[in-house]
Structure 1
Amino acid sequence: MPNFTLFIVSDSVGETAGLVTKAAASQFRHDLESVSIKRFSYIEENSQLEEIVFLAKQQQALIVFTLVKESMRDHLRILCEELDVKSVDLLGPLIDEIGNQLGLEPFEEPGLVRQLDAHYFKKIEAIEFAVKYDDGRDMRGVLEADIVLLGVSRTSKTPLSQFLANKGYKVANVPLVPEVDPPAEIFSIDPTKCFGLYISVNQLNSIRKARLETLGLKDDANYAKIARIQQEIDYFNEITTKVGCEVIDVTNRAVEETANTILKTFTARKAN
């Protein structure tokens, strides 16, 4: 697939246009390595549009835009026609049709969806929560969390916490180390909101060796030795059994796959 450049132009953050564009581009290449996506957010002036279209002409980019003001959409279309730049209006046609159906004029105020979407604010709060209570920094998070993750080092606790946080769930994760007593809080919470992350000894050995090499250290450190890893896994099994939580095997599983398994179980339990 040849290299291809996409410009995302928005009078707000541009998150919606970015997601839709990536979804479309992924139908042609899963890794998107050959697709360059550049975002231009909070565009409010025609002069900004003129600069963007000129740059798109130079780079032979496709412009994908979400602009709520009709005057700016029209100006951008005219600029693209004059410079022979391809563009796609994601928002305009939908705004026009909804307006026709309702018999109303749009507000044309950028960012209104942020004000109306409570889920957005819930997601931001959850992301901040995941950062604050990452890696057992503060055990109060265990009591306040929607989901608690338990696991030894390098079982993707942090990226999994962030992924779930982006879904709006408050997540705290706790590292389990044989030499350190587990926090008392994990034994007092509802075990149904707690998930243990198990990984095979051999895969964890490979992951830890790679981590040491990345840090410029020798891969024969105790941290990556099979005997040490087995000791940690045994301790993990002991603690998760005592907690009574569900254990998920994350060996050779992507973060997204593990997250979906957790959410499926978590939502099913809440429904009962």
Structure 2
Amino acid sequence: MPRLHLHLVSDSTGETLEMFAKAALAQFEDADVVRHFWPMVRSRQHLDRIMPTLEEKAGLVLFTLINPQTRARLEERCRESGLTAVPVLDQVTAALEAKLGLEAQQSKPGRQHIMDKAYFDRVEAIQFTIAHDDGISHEDWEEADILLAGVSRSSKTPTSIYLANRGYKVANIPLVVESPPPEKLYQLKNPLIVGLTSTPERLVQIRRNRLLALNEKNETAYADQDRVREEVVFARRIFADRGWPIIDVTRRSIEETAAAIIKLYNERDLVQATSPGGAA
């Protein structure tokens, strides 16, 4: 299979473009793709500096450029070099213009990063989540939107951080057989509590890799198959007894796990809003 050089050219941070490319590439698991990231390209001079690399490592160019002169220059240079250049947001923007009857405001690159209330809410969510990782500060758990529980290495922390970047205040707690969680966990009213689990085999693999990364070569109970199986049973029993939703992360990416949690969160809000005594 030939190697493809994929160039991502943006006049802002490139976050939107990178997410788009990642989602599209997920459909091609065996593809040999080398990504080249070119953020903050806001002038013809900057564009002209990177064009030799685009031409040398010819492939596919995906771009989000607002400035019409910079965009025209990129499209012209790509045509001259025989490069395929795709403006990834054009069709979506055009469809929105047609349905809304409005013209897109394309004067400022990075408009999605304006520091509005949503931005500061997201920063607050990230700060809260970092401060409540791994069972810390359980006295504040009632302030969380979501609480994730699970055994060690069940993706609690990365999932929490991902959700925080989406604006959710998240706490997480490791479930340890020898150390029962604080009673506070069972008294929470506000947070959606979700149990994360995985197969013992997958957990053992991850934990052994973790120990190797720490230069720990001795066998420990931490990565013992029977011991890990006991932990998983212990955690699942807690989830079942409390009626908490469970998500098996064995074959899920962090993004897929987070999407499932957000779906549960939204469904709970909908039920609460339409139930007697809720907001109709």
Q: Secondary structure at the match of 1:52?
A: helix
1:7 aligned residue: 7
Q: Is 1:172 matched up with 2:171?
A: yes
Runs of 4+ more than 6 Å apart? 93-97
Q: Is 1:152 matched up with 2:151?
A: yes
CA distance in structure 2 between the aligned counterparts of 1:204 and 1:106, rounded to whole angstroms? 48
Structure 2 length normalisation: TM-score?
Answer: 0.78
1:112 aligned residue: 111
1:193 aligned residue: 192
Q: Cα deviation per residue 1:184-230 (whole Å; 9 max; x = unaligned)?
A: 43132128711223444454344433432343323521222345435
Q: Does the 8 A contact of 2:151 with 2:231 survive in 1?
A: yes
2:39 corresponds, among 38, 41, 54, to 41
Q: Does the 8 A contact of 2:199 with 2:250 survive in 1?
A: no
Q: Does the 8 A contact of 2:66 with 2:108 survive in 1?
A: yes
Q: Secondary structure at the match of 1:180?
A: coil
1:1-272 counterparts in 2 under 5 A? 1-27=1-27, 29-30=28-29, 32=31, 34-91=32-89, 98=97, 106-115=105-114, 122-190=121-189, 193-218=192-217, 220-226=219-225, 228-229=227-228, 232-233=231-232, 235-236=234-235, 239-240=238-239, 244-248=242-246, 250=248, 252-255=250-253, 256-272=255-271
Q: Give me the identity figure in percent.
A: 34
Q: Label 1:169 to 1:95 Cα distance change in 2 as closer, same or farther (>3 A).
A: closer
CA distance in structure 2 between the aligned counterparts of 1:269 and 1:96, rounded to whole angstroms? 35
Q: Label 1:80 to 1:185 Cα distance change in 2 as closer, same or farther (>3 A).
A: same
Q: How many residues align?
A: 268
Q: Which is worse superposed, 193-202 or 167-176?
A: 193-202
Deviation at 1:150, TM superposition (A): 1.3
Deviation at 1:176, TM superposition (A): 2.1
Deviation at 1:35, TM superposition (A): 0.9
CA distance in structure 2 between the aligned counterparts of 1:94 and 1:260, rounded to whole angstroms? 22
Q: Which is worse superposed, 228-237 or 171-180?
A: 228-237
Q: Does the 8 A contact of 2:133 with 2:157 survive in 1?
A: yes
Q: Over the residues paired in the alignment, what is the CA RMSD in angstroms? A: 3.4
Q: Does the 8 A contact of 1:196 with 1:245 survive in 2?
A: no
Q: Does the 8 A contact of 1:65 with 1:89 survive in 2?
A: yes
Q: Does the 8 A contact of 1:68 with 1:92 survive in 2?
A: no
Q: Which is worse superposed, 88-97 or 41-50?
A: 88-97
Q: Does the 8 A contact of 1:11 with 1:41 survive in 2?
A: yes
Q: Cα deviation per residue 1:35-81 (whole Å; 9 max; x = unaligned)?
A: 11222111122111001112111111332221111121122223333
Q: Secondary structure at the match of 2:114?
A: helix
Q: Which consecutive unaligned segments of at least 5 residues does structure 2 have?
A: 272-280
Q: Which is worse superposed, 9-18 or 251-260?
A: 251-260
Deviation at 1:260, TM superposition (A): 4.0
CA distance in structure 2 between the aligned counterparts of 1:224 and 1:138, rounded to whole angstroms? 28
Q: Secondary structure at the match of 1:246?
A: coil
Deviation at 1:102, TM superposition (A): 5.4
CA distance in structure 2 between the aligned counterparts of 1:266 and 1:96, rounded to whole angstroms? 32
Q: Which is worse superposed, 142-151 or 90-99?
A: 90-99
Q: Label 1:245 to 1:160 Cα distance change in 2 as closer, same or farther (>3 A).
A: farther
Q: Secondary structure at the match of 1:17?
A: helix
Q: Does the 8 A contact of 1:197 with 1:248 survive in 2?
A: yes
